[in-house]
Amino acid sequence: MTTTDTHCPYCSLQCGMRLRPAPEAAGEVEVLERPGFPVNRGALCGKGRTAAAVLSPAARLTAPLVRDRRGGELREASWDEALDRVAAGLSAVRDAHGPDAVGVFGGGGLTNEKAYLLGKFARVVLRTANIDYNGRFCMSSAAAAHRRAFGLDRGLPFPLEDIARTGCVILVGANPADTMPPALRYFRELRENGGTLIVVDPRRTRTAEQADLHLQPLPGSDLALALGMLHLVVADGRVDEEFVTRRTTGFEAARAAAMAHWPERVERLTGVPAGQLRTAVEMFTGAPEGMVLTARGPEQQSKGTDTVSAWINLCLATGKSGRLRSGYGCLTGQGNGQGGREHGQKADQLPGYRSIEDPAARAHVASVWGVDPEALPGPGRSAYELLDGLGREDGARALLLMGSNPVVSAPRAGHVTERLRALDFLAVSDVVLSETAELADVVLPAAQWAEETGTTTNLEGRVILRRRAVDAPGGVRSDLSVLHGLAGRLGVPHGFPEDAEEVFEELRRASAGGQADYAGISYARIGAEDGVFWPCPDEAHPGTPRLFLDRFATPDGRARFTAVSHRPAAEEPDAEYPLFLTTGRVVAQYQSGAQTRRVPELARAAPGPFVELHPRLAGRLGVVEGELLSVSSRRGRAVAPARVTDTIRPDTVFMPFHWGGVGRANSLTNPALDPTSKMPEFKVCAVRVERAAAA
């Protein structure tokens, strides 16, 4: 029976899997293990194992939908009618208010080809500066800190397998046991090989339970924690002077900033005992090789970039960077969170991870696109700024949205929903009728992972190929076909191929010479080599699994320290809102849940939102397990049942963010933005918790 080797549609691990026709259901496929793929070696989490369920026509859109008038019902339409309406809606706003009044919002789950063509569509066809994507909410702080220190951003500058062979890993605000379970193997092997694992998390997660040391700081205080560790490294004479002198710049200023964060002060700021801080420093500096890996915990803060910089400083000061089995890395979240940020979906970037403000980059990309560089727009608004401005005088009045569900996943989601409703025109392309698609004037049913071929780039910078294994339901089209159809209707009949490999060949040329250089990567090579790591400038180049071993990607080849200091969260608890809220994921759901909530096995495992709170807090509030709680912030209210557990701090409550409706965690979250990355502060805000019956 024919089988197809491909990859999971969900997270950034991009686990290899094999699909074969289901024996008892014509036209359907089933998921098998693919032991030969090195990242997951056959292991899949529940989401991956059940991924075929989202292909079922019963779970998704199978025809375009249009609305004849605002407030009217969506009705089925032909593709011609739907695309005509989208073209008319976008061009009417553009003609009346100018190109920047049309916005484009993409997603970190789109393939490289889709991300690339969407960026080109925005800049060449719509001529708008206002394109950004939900990846801004995912890894943008780590990306900004990466570029600031190393001159280049690739989530992990080494393959995952190096984790198992280093000496000590500090995992900050990351919970792979729930977000990417097959990756836990690397941490288990690390400990089996004699290494140590330190987890920093306000919750004692399933990952923290496996650690040698768990530091449980107050939400939003990770920056102080990292500074306290650097303070001890300096005070105890544990700086790698030779490495600092030879391969870095800026240490003195960073050292001076850290010296203001002595252990007792850090204990007051973070709640982490000074003794634990010392133990962590001894474990990390006692190992000849070590890594710091961050995820959304420290990154989704209004000081996320500085927080990541503080952890990078710790790596640099101890010589744990730029050498084998050592360094700083980010565990990216979304399936193509890495590739999605490299090819032009971001408001400030062009393909190849080039700056949109760099004249040479503009000239190169314009030459590939066959347009005048002067005609290319400049940088646009970041994701939240774009959403916040929708429907306003100076904001976007029409929006084309692909592969994202901001009604559930954006911060201050109630407000974002109002802004979406204020648009003159909204078109959404998605696999399912998501909460955001429900607001659209036109909904375009998209083909998905196993129904189309395309590349993604996993958290290691490994470019991989998802292969088509099954026909999409009739009535469904690829996003590439949608962009082709719209470009033609909007007067650009060439340059928007429907074929993914043709798009990838153009992407190779557009990225050539950039930081994320794909010039030497082809579909044939990816297939033959289990993926190719960028940069890969020509076909004879082996790809680059490990970065920075000889030099960093800065003009002088040295890594840069950044002097950073502690500052509080944008919103701290007070008398009115006395508790911290932090948000995150559960193992059986993925991101806004638009797909995974529709998979019966996953819906049974994680049927709805909840509020996690400590028994002491529950006792003070008179709350029992399962009782409905009302959680309020300055931005909104959510209602969900209590889950009482001593794995969380007594001053903090936790909610998963996968659901809309009354239990929507993002009704509460704070859109205060990091000034560098424009990341909203999802991970910390002040809330009040009451029994719902009493609220």
Assess 599 for contact with ligand SF4 (CB under 6 A).
no
**Rg of the chain taking only CA atoms, in angstroms:** 24
Which of 45, 53, 177, 361 contacts ligand SF4 by CB under 6 A? 45
39 vs 399 by CB, closer to ligand SF4: 39
63 vs 605 by CB, closer to ligand SF4: 605
180 vs 312 by CB, closer to ligand SF4: 180
Tokens 């004879």 sit on residue? 540
14 vs 285 by CB, closer to ligand SF4: 14
The two three-digit tokens of residue 158, written as one number = 């080494």
29 vs 648 by CB, closer to ligand SF4: 29
The two three-digit tokens of residue 562, written as one number = 């950044």
Pairing between strand 652-656 and 685-691? Answer: unpaired
Cα–Cα distance, 605 to 49 (Å, whole number): 14
405 vs 511 by CB, closer to ligand SF4: 405
Helix (H/G/I), strand (E/B), else coil: 187: helix
CB of 44 to ligand SF4, least distance (A): 4
Considering only residues 5 through 24, tell me which ones interact with ligand SF4, judged by CB under 6 A. 8, 10-11, 13-15
Considering only residues 402 through 431, tell me which ones interact with ligand SF4, judged by CB under 6 A. none
Helices 222-235 and 274-286 meet at what angle, rounded to 10?
A: 60
CB of 587 to ligand SF4, least distance (A): 9
Pick the piece of the chain touching ligand SF4 (CB under 6 A) from 3-11, 113-121, 504-512, 597-605: 3-11
Assess 156 for contact with ligand SF4 (CB under 6 A).
no
The two three-digit tokens of residue 622, written as one number = 């008179």
616: CB partners within 8 A, 6+ apart: 650
Cα–Cα distance, 410 to 136 (Å, whole number): 10
Assess 47 for contact with ligand SF4 (CB under 6 A).
yes
Residue nearest to ligand SF4 (CB): 48
9 vs 173 by CB, closer to ligand SF4: 9
Distances (CA, A) of 190 to 38, 459, 481, 635: 17, 19, 45, 43
> Could you give the string, one character per residue 237-266, with x where binding to ligand SF4 holds by CB under 6 A and - elsewhere?
------------------------------
Distances (CA, A) of 268 to 41, 236, 261, 580: 44, 21, 10, 16
In single-letter form, the type of residue at position 469 comes to A
37 vs 158 by CB, closer to ligand SF4: 37
Helix (H/G/I), strand (E/B), else coil: 534: coil
Considering only residues 182 through 201, tell me which ones interact with ligand SF4, judged by CB under 6 A. 182
Helix (H/G/I), strand (E/B), else coil: 42: coil
Which of 104, 131, 142, 180 contacts ligand SF4 by CB under 6 A? 180
Number of residues in contact with ligand SF4 under rule CB under 6 A: 14
DSSP line for 130-162: -EEEGGGGTTHHHHHHHHHHHSS--S-SS-GGG
Pairing between strand 102-106 and 131-133? Answer: parallel
277 vs 431 by CB, closer to ligand SF4: 431
Angle at 262 between CA 567 and CA 331, to 5 degrees: 55
Cα–Cα distance, 374 to 150 (Å, whole number): 30
Pick the piece of the chain touching ligand SF4 (CB under 6 A) from 75-83, 150-158, 177-185, 560-568: 177-185
Assess 298 for contact with ligand SF4 (CB under 6 A).
no
8 vs 655 by CB, closer to ligand SF4: 8
> Could you give the string, one character per residue 503-542, with x where binding to ligand SF4 holds by CB under 6 A and - elsewhere?
----------------------------------------
Q: What is the 3-state secondary structure (H, E, C) of 401-463?
A: EECCCHHHHCCCHHHHHHHHHCCCEEEEEECCCCCCHHHCCEEEEECCHHHCCEEEECCCCEE
> Could you give the string, one character per residue 48-67, with x where binding to ligand SF4 holds by CB under 6 A and - elsewhere?
x-------------------
109 vs 181 by CB, closer to ligand SF4: 181
- Which residues of the chain form contacts with ligand SF4 (CB under 6 A)? 8, 10-11, 13-15, 40, 44-45, 47-48, 180-182
